[in-house]
Structure 1
Amino acid sequence: MITAVALAGYAVLVSAAVPPLLSRARWPHRTPVTAVLAWQGLMATFVVATALAVYHLVMAEQHVHDGLIGLLSACGLAADAPAGESAPTLGDALALAAPLAIVLLPLGWLALCVWRARRARQRHLDMLALVGEPAPGYDATVVDHGAPAVYCLPGRRRRVVVTRGALDVLSEAQMRAVLEHERAHIDGRHHLLHLLVDAFSRAFPGLPLARHAKEQTALLVEMIADDRALRFHSRDALATAICEVAAGQAPQAALGAGGPGALIRLRRVLTPQPRPHRATWLGVVAASIAAPLLPLLVACGP
């Protein structure tokens, strides 16, 4: 019982107490890749800790006290368990359904989100085949629309889309900078990060971690793409392009250069901050990896 309470408290800590603190911290904007890893670590930690807490509450005492061997025995996977104990009972199977559901729920939503995103991208690609025009100089597709917008459709049939309004207001340097931003989204497979946080937020609606992770990940992946564009283009060109396309709306399942937090990103591009100390970076990475493993050590130890 004590272990279950400890695991439940750990789950509450990472899902309710830590997310607001991480959202208000300054270092994530200075190293967005590491910050994304931290959010992913928190989500994995919540699922692991919650599932193990439920397992300790509902499973038979002998399995709980046997630690990892007990867990494997309950699943019928312990090779060295006695023959009479290795086969799971009906009660074990029903009890395992609760912690298993906690693990499978976000995975099920992830599969559904992937399917929906693919359908939305396919519909948009079909529309582009009818109304889009190639822009060979930019390796993009031009859509005759007055609002300035630049976005990308990730996946196998990846595509960068530029509206006629964006071509009218952006200079050559600005257009090259914003196109590099979009290619960073495609090369980095940032749509997968969006799918992960979207599935988690749908699996656990109302959870502070889900809300903060979704908001912050959307902002952080835009910052990662900004950093990629700044390797090859000037800050002024990218900042101006962000301003011009900030109001442009990307379609469903696409990633737009305007994106969320345009004002925050603009300030970050124009006033760069030093990267965190290497010790800070290593500490965050180590904590993000260790956090999901700690519940396993607590729950599965004999």
Structure 2
Amino acid sequence: MPVIAALLAYAALLGFAGDRVLTRASWASRHPRAALRAWHACAFTFLVTITATLVLTAHDLWEHAVVWLFHAGKPQVHAAYAGSWHIEGVADGAVLLLLLAATAVTALAAHRFLAVRRERDRARLITDALGSRGAGGLADVHILDDAEPTAFCVPGGRGRDRIVVSRGTVDLLTEEQLAAAVTHERGHLRLAHHRMILAAEVVTAAVGWSGALRGYAHQVRRLSEMAADDHAAAVHGSRTVASALLEMCTVGPPAEGSATLALSGPDPAERIRRLLAARPGQGRRLLPVLIGCATATVLVLPAVMVLGPAFAVADTAHCLEQCPR
């Protein structure tokens, strides 16, 4: 029971306090890639901790595994994890809840994945049918004959990725600004932001109704745009990226759940301000290292809580076998 209580408290800390702390963290916009890792670690550990809580509550399942893996005595294992706590039917309820939750999350993920794939296939079909390939530095870019300025990428993998700009964007931006916009979209594809966003949307849809991790999906989209901005700024300079984004702001951001990743994504005003305030080498400092250490600690703690008692009672079965009756 103490282990289960500790896991529940840790899950609540991550899902509620962790969500609020990361949402309000001022360092996140300065180090978006580190912040993304922190968000993913928080969400992943929250789900693992909830799962571990249900598995431990279904104590027979876990206790048999510990007895076999650690050669531990069954009474010692039961005392370490359940103590004297026992309520009839709780173990069976925990197994049922675990199965229902796994089924629901799998169905939700499959539904969202198929919807995103359909939207991307439609965007790719339109691009291939109506777009033309650029030249020179834009050889991998599809240009749509559309007067409205737009720039986005369509993830697909295995040669199915598309970077798309409209004729309106080509006419609106300078050559350097256009190159920065394209590099921004290449950054999205290179850093696999589409996978991060899909995972965040599924998790938020699954648990956000409870108040836990409700900022996860929005923050991942926001920080992904900042990380792509930094990717472009490393090549073309922060002011060039900021000026391109400022010009494209007249288009307005895409829908929050869009399957494509557009240059004029969420929070463009904040992104422009941070780009104009950026200093050379700002991202290469001690803070990202500290954030990485904290992220690793968040990931490791549930394993310590779950496996600690198992190591403490390891080989006690051997002791029981040798003790006189």
User: TM-score, normalising length from structure 2?
Assistant: 0.78
CA distance in 1, matches of 2:176, 2:267: 23
Ranges in structure 1 where 5+ consecutive residues have no aligned partner = 83-90
CA distance in 2, matches of 1:79, 1:22: 38
Give the fraction of aligned pairs with identical amino acids, expressed as a percent: 27
Aligned length: 285
Q: In the alignment, what sits opposite 2:146?
A: 145
Change beyond 3 A, Cα 1:277–1:67: farther
RMSD between superposed Cα atoms in Å: 2.8
CA distance in 2, matches of 1:171, 1:269: 18
CA distance in 2, matches of 1:206, 1:296: 27
8 Å CA contact retained: 2:242, 2:276: yes
Once the 2 structures are TM-superposed, how far is the Cα of residue 46 of structure 1 from its aligned partner? 0.8
Q: In the alignment, what sits opposite 2:259?
A: 253
Once the 2 structures are TM-superposed, how far is the Cα of residue 111 of structure 1 from its aligned partner? 3.6
Q: In the alignment, what sits opposite 2:124?
A: 125
CA distance in 2, matches of 1:287, 1:106: 28
- Aligned counterpart for 2:288 among listed residues 274, 281, 287: 281
Ranges in structure 2 where 5+ consecutive residues have no aligned partner = 74-89, 311-325
CA distance in 2, matches of 1:7, 1:144: 56
8 Å CA contact retained: 2:184, 2:232: yes
Q: In the alignment, what sits opposite 1:36?
A: 36
Q: Which has the larger radius of gyration?
A: 2
Q: In the alignment, what sits opposite 1:272?
A: 278
User: TM-score, normalising length from structure 1?
Assistant: 0.84
Counterpart of 1:133, as a letter, is: S
Once the 2 structures are TM-superposed, how far is the Cα of residue 118 of structure 1 from its aligned partner? 1.8
Q: In the alignment, what sits opposite 2:45?
A: 45
8 Å CA contact retained: 1:149, 1:249: no
Deviations 1:45-85 (A, max 9, x none): 1111112222333434xx66x49605xx6xxxx59689xxx
Task: Single out whichever of 42-51 and 139-148 deviates more from structure 2.
Answer: 139-148
Deviations 1:250-294 (A, max 9, x none): 58311001111111110011001534742x323321222232331
CA distance in 1, matches of 2:34, 2:102: 25
Change beyond 3 A, Cα 1:36–1:208: farther
CA distance in 2, matches of 1:215, 1:80: 46
**Residue 212 of structure 2 corresponds to residue 236 of structure 1:** no
8 Å CA contact retained: 1:52, 1:99: no
- Aligned counterpart for 2:194 among listed residues 191, 196, 203: 191
**Residue 14 of structure 2 corresponds to residue 8 of structure 1:** no
8 Å CA contact retained: 1:148, 1:248: no
**Residue 106 of structure 2 corresponds to residue 99 of structure 1:** no
CA distance in 2, matches of 1:67, 1:37: 35
Once the 2 structures are TM-superposed, how far is the Cα of residue 216 of structure 1 from its aligned partner? 1.2
CA distance in 1, matches of 2:186, 2:283: 24
